[in-house]
Amino acid sequence: MSDIHSQYNEVERLIDDEQFDAAIVGLNKIVEQDGSFVLAQLALSRVYTKTGQHDLAIKHGERACELEPQEAFNYTALSVTYQRAWAGTQDQQFIAKAEEAMAKAHQLG
């Protein structure tokens, strides 16, 4: 297993233990090493959502879709990120974006 995968596995344990601040630090280190590591982008999106940092969650969710534009799961995850951003902010733009991302996931799936 590569070093970056080992680092990622360690960060996943932090997420499981709800040590979100430490997980964010670890994930950002991974992304600094390899910005194309999609699992880290998705994990950052998930952790930033859990900590109410919706703008950053969306940024990383969208990045995962840019990196793997043919992966339906990434669009499904992005749709959930948008839905949670709406729930946290009541900003209506996120509903339309969630629907667009889910439609893209269905198109690819």
Domain containing 95: what range?
3-108
Q: pLDDT digit string (tens) for 26-82?
A: 999 999 999 999 999 999 999 999 999 999 999 999 999 999 999 999 999 999 999
Q: Can you tell me the distance from the alpha carbon of 19 to that of 4, in angstroms, rounded to the nearest whole number?
A: 19
> Please, what sign has the CA dihedral across residues 43, 81, 106, 101?
negative
CATH number reported for the structural domain that contains residue 18 in this entry: 1.25.40.10
pLDDT band at 109 (very low <50, low <70, confident <90, very high): confident
pLDDT at 76 (0 to 100): 98
Q: Can you tell me the distance from the alpha carbon of 33 to that of 39, in angstroms, rounded to the nearest whole number?
A: 13
pLDDT above 90 (res 1): no
47: left (phi over 0), alpha (psi -120 to 50) or beta: alpha
Number of domains into which the chain is organized = 1
pLDDT above 80 (res 2): no
Q: Which pair of tokens denotes residue 30?
A: 């991974």
pLDDT at 18 (0 to 100): 97
**Full-model pTM:** 0.94
Residue 93: exposure state from Cβ atoms within 10 A (0-12, 13-18, ≥19): exposed
